Chain A
Amino acid sequence: METGEIIRLILEEFPLALAGSILAGVMCAFIGVYIVAKRVVFLGAVMTQLSVLGLSITFLPFIPLPHTVGSLAITLLAVAFLSKWLAGKTVPGDAVLGVVFCAAIALRILVLQKSPRVEVSEVDNLLRGDILFVSPDLFIILLIVFAAMVILHLLFYKQFSSVTFDAETATAQGMIAGIWDSVLYMSAAVAIAVATHLVGDVFVFGFLVVPPVTGLLLARRVKQVFAFSVAVGAIAPALGLFLAFVIDVPASPMIVAVASVFLVAAWLIRATRQS
């Protein structure tokens, strides 16, 4: 197929796939800036696996919940508990995350093994994020979550940036830093849960890390970090989807690969600047 034909095919046959992956990319790239800045990248990976576990549980016959609800419920519940466990001093925080990460993957495998509702390929597609067949309902949910995220983060940018920079002083100033941190993590959990259902765990975790690091390498101001990250979050899915058609490979890994190329380019630009 020629370039024009592929673009027409994507725009006419898969408009929700294109728009959905861009929205998910932008959302993950934005929230990922906080995840990377707060040095909790592993928490991002854990949240992604928890949302996959939540999706899996909805395949059990005695849990008749929509997939997105299952994903949201498990992720939010676990993040609420995680914030308490991570504050403990007996077990190191990264060990707690490691335990939850392994447990989420193991549980998902066990749950799916005992789920009679669907074919393995269907489960596989859903858990990896079947970008090409995004349903209108799921797209609307994503749109609502995206809008809520934009409003929340525009309204409370000052608070989120302050607790990210220095939670101790924020508390001393009368802010309840723990609550703002929880709101930040909960917003990340919601974004990750919905995006994982739409585009899969590889895409979501990739976009929580790769675009923000690209932004950090290129930017000289905090707002530029967000701008570069969001730009990669928007451009890489469109370009990746196109290339996936051109060379006939799965879309999600291709999109993450494209984002990684941006990261390498950013690293080269930074190295050139410094030399």
Chain B
Amino acid sequence: MKENDERVPDPIVELRHATLGYGKKVILKDISLSIRDGDFFGLVGPNGSGKTTLLRAILGTIAPLSGEVLRRESGFRAGYVPQRGNVNDILPFTSGEVVMMGRLRNIGLFRSPAASDKQAVRESLSSVGIEHLVDTPFNNLSGGQKQRVLIARALASHPTILILDEPTNGMDLPSRWVTLALIRKLHDEQRLTVILVTHLLDDVASLVKSIALMDQQNFQVGEVGSVLTEKNLSAMYQMPIQVRNLEGARIISPGEADGNR
């Protein structure tokens, strides 16, 4: 036995040769990946590549058609942030009421929210910097503010893993930056494991530690540097892609790739 044996922690969630889909329709084949404590994981691919399906398998809302999806028995508590467009905000729920929905699992079937639930709501709103919007109707908020409320709702259940589906979709540039900075802050300060799903490479290229790059034919997973190469990206998008480093940030743009980087 080695003296300095570094022990790799058990994965929070692990897919082993999983085939995913709905009914008889296969969306993703033979997927293997594992997410560990403290990971900041990006799931990137073009629209229709099966990202949401993979996310649902990780969350456990769909079962694999074959293979295995294993979630850690203790300590897998997912806080889920859906795409903003999937939320139905016709009714004027306040931000506080929306965040309280994140406490349903804790509140139980027949009980009313307790003082601890109200405290959790306040803390969650505070951690995303919008405690002053607690009584504002969700449907009156800007896109960026709505996203913060949805993140606060996910945090209200005290998750061990935060899963965000296209959190910057449809946002202007400042809101996008602010939202990504907030996600980074939650990962750094609260040591949250984060899975960030996006079709926007720029969102994750300089943010996450490990990444899965996927389309319907390919699935590559690993450290950002080894996956986000010009060769991989050019093959996936079927056009020349350049990857450059600028003061520590990865810049991805169309252009002549040298095919090796």
* A residues with CB within 8 A of B: 33, 36-39, 155, 158-159, 161-162, 164-166, 168-175, 216, 219-222, 225
Contact = CB atoms under 8 A, between A and B. Distances in A.
Nearest to A166: B87
B88 interface: yes
Given A169-B80, A169-B153, A172-B78, A39 B90 contact: yes
Name the residue among B91, B92, B104, B157 with the largest chain A CB count within 10 angstroms. Answer: B91
Contacts of B93: 161, 165, 222
Contact of B104 (A170, A220, A222): A170
Nearest to B78: A172
A64 to B, nearest CB: 40
A173 B157 contact: yes
Name the residue among A39, A162, A169 with the largest chain B CB count within 10 angstroms. Answer: A169
A173 B105 contact: yes
Nearest to A175: B104
B76 to A, nearest CB: 11
14 contacts: A158-B101, A165-B88, A165-B93, A166-B87, A168-B80, A169-B82, A169-B154, A172-B59, A172-B61, A173-B104, A175-B104, A175-B105, A221-B92, A225-B92
Contacts, number: 76
Nearest to B107: A158
Given A38-B88, A222-B92, A165 B101 contact: yes
A165 B98 CA distance: 8
B123 interface: no
Nearest to B61: A171
B86 A37 contact: no
7 tightest A-B contacts by CB? Answer: A172-B80, A172-B59, A37-B90, A162-B101, A37-B91, A222-B91, A166-B87
B102 interface: yes
A168 B92 contact: no
A88 B109 CA distance: 30
Name the residue among A165, A170, A220 with the largest chain B CB count within 10 angstroms. Answer: A165
Contact of B97 (A33, A38, A222): A222
Contacts of B90: 36-37, 39, 216
Contacts of A39: 88, 90
A46 B82 CA distance: 31
A93 B87 CA distance: 19
A168 B137 contact: no
A171 B61 CA distance: 7
B104 A166 contact: no
B258 interface: no
Contacts of A169: 80-82, 101, 153-154
A221 B82 CA distance: 23
Given A37-B88, A39-B90, A222-B92, 12 more contacts: A161-B101, A164-B88, A166-B101, A168-B80, A168-B86, A169-B82, A169-B154, A173-B102, A216-B90, A216-B92, A222-B91, A222-B93
Given A166-B82, A169-B80, A172-B78, A225 B105 contact: no
Contacts of B163: 172
B178 to A, nearest CB: 22
Nearest to B100: A158
Contacts of B91: 33, 37, 161, 164-165, 216, 222, 225
Contacts of B153: 169
Nearest to A36: B90
B10 interface: no
Interface in B110-160: 110, 137, 153-154, 157
Nearest to B112: A158
Contacts of A173: 80, 102, 104-105, 157
Contacts of A159: 104, 109
A170 B91 CA distance: 17
B140 to A, nearest CB: 9
A161 B107 CA distance: 15
Contacts of B137: 220-221
Name the residue among B93, B101, B105 with the largest chain A CB count within 10 angstroms. Answer: B101
A158 B104 contact: yes
Interface in B54-72: 59, 61
